[in-house]
Structure 1
Amino acid sequence: MQPEAICQHGLPARPWADARLNRLPGVLPVAEGDWLLVDEVYAAQMALRERLLAAKGDAVLRASPGAIAACAELLDAVLADALTRPGFVAEGGVVRCPDGRRVPLDRERPLETAARLVQEDLVVLERPDGADEHIITAASLCFPASWTLGEKFLKPLTRVHRPVAEYEGDIAKRVQRLFDGLQPGRPIWRMNYLIYSDPALFQPRTEADKRPPASGSARWLRMERQGMRRLPESGAVVFSIHTFVIPLERLSDADRNALSASKPVG
């Protein structure tokens, strides 16, 4: 599905050098207009996303019947953001994208339509009445970093983060409080980073399937800018994931040394 590596040219942030980001949960407010990003590999990532959406079915796109309203609201939010950016133009019932694609505004399939517009994977989480935690009720997940939508769909946050060792006890409670406290119009973001031996964006793995350790000279830094935003009408939380893959050889000596001395944040 992916004939060559799709890599950005530079770092989106340096979380290993920023005490605010290099811890859990390590969140910061999103600057005005920075909820979703468009970078230099937009065309390449979107071409891969289109192929995955066509070929992988519910491995990359799922929505529960109860999440339809939240998905429709998400599409409206994505459109409102995208149409402020260069290269996105609404033409009747179609959006022309920066890479020249024309995406029909199919409101019968709002999550898929949103996924075809932006680089971010989009995960919708809702907290059912009486539940202790938010659960994943819908998601477009074309660029999974060692997890599968099949295992996490309709599961609560603590189950979603299995088998992340750091996500226990106090951290789990803090993250749930963070989700509960999100206010419409005040999104937040965090950054995670791990070293991978394979630059592929589509890397699904079950909980039992361990990620192979990075070794040798072919190593890549995989970073995720994870946004969290509450939708005002449905109350759902949108967890957005913008994935960056950067060859370690492109990093400066100072960044490589600082990275090797740090503990990756997942």
Structure 2
Amino acid sequence: MYGNVKLPSKLCSFGLTFMGTNEMHIIFPFSAVLKKLQRLRVERGEDDPGMQEEEGGISQVGLTAIAVGCRELENIAAYVSDITNGALESIGTFCKNLHDFRLVLLDRQETITDLPLDNGARALLRGCTKLRRFALYLRPGGLSDVGLGYIGQHSGTIQYMLLGNVGQTDGGLISFAAGCRNLRKLELRSCCFSERALALAIRQMPSLRYVWVQGYRASQTGRDLMLMARPFWNIEFTPPSTETAGRLMEDGEPCVDRQAQVLAYYSLSGKRSDYPQSVVPLYPA
């Protein structure tokens, strides 16, 4: 079906959707002239019902090859089925022009080759000194408290960050926050941190203008969030679901509730009036 497809020699932008085994050969003749590739985005495909029987997915093998061969990359966004510290280290070694890096680790494989990704994340951030945006969405155990501290320590140029399923304890979050002096926008997903630790960490980041936390160890009232109250700072709280309210983990701490949310941001207009009924505005009063 695709045997006669020809691509122009001066192609500047190229996108393929729902690509499977039968379509991969289309790009092979053209891939050799992509050593000047600047932007790469690989979306997940298994959300489409028609792709359920397709095999494959991007792994550390392909990510390493891209880093070695395409050294002018400025933007990488990829959903990966497997990842290693070595792959992240390759990006830090060869992709010196990178200013936007986003990686999501899918949960389709039971076993991941190399976790936690502490050393890989450190090597990537130390090597890619032009980064302005950084996203790392993993699975539980993907990044320890040590790795979270590395991210804070080496994120001096980053202004926007999204982290999911990272860290082990509140101490890791506090260590992370101590290094984020220039971070302006932070999003956290499905993390084990307590409400108090979140508030204390946010107070340590002086440049922060916006924070959204979705899924954490929340109280029913959000009382500890008031520790981060400041002038012109709006705090909006979505309480945990009734199903997890009062439930404790084995160590006696509240469970992580994926529905609990915190949204905090600077505003000269004061409290907004269009928030949904599920949201509780805490500050300003």
Per the normalisation by structure 2, the TM-score is 0.23
Higher relative CO (Cα under 8 Å, sequence separation at least 6) belongs to 1
Per the normalisation by structure 1, the TM-score is 0.24
The structure whose Rg is larger is: 2
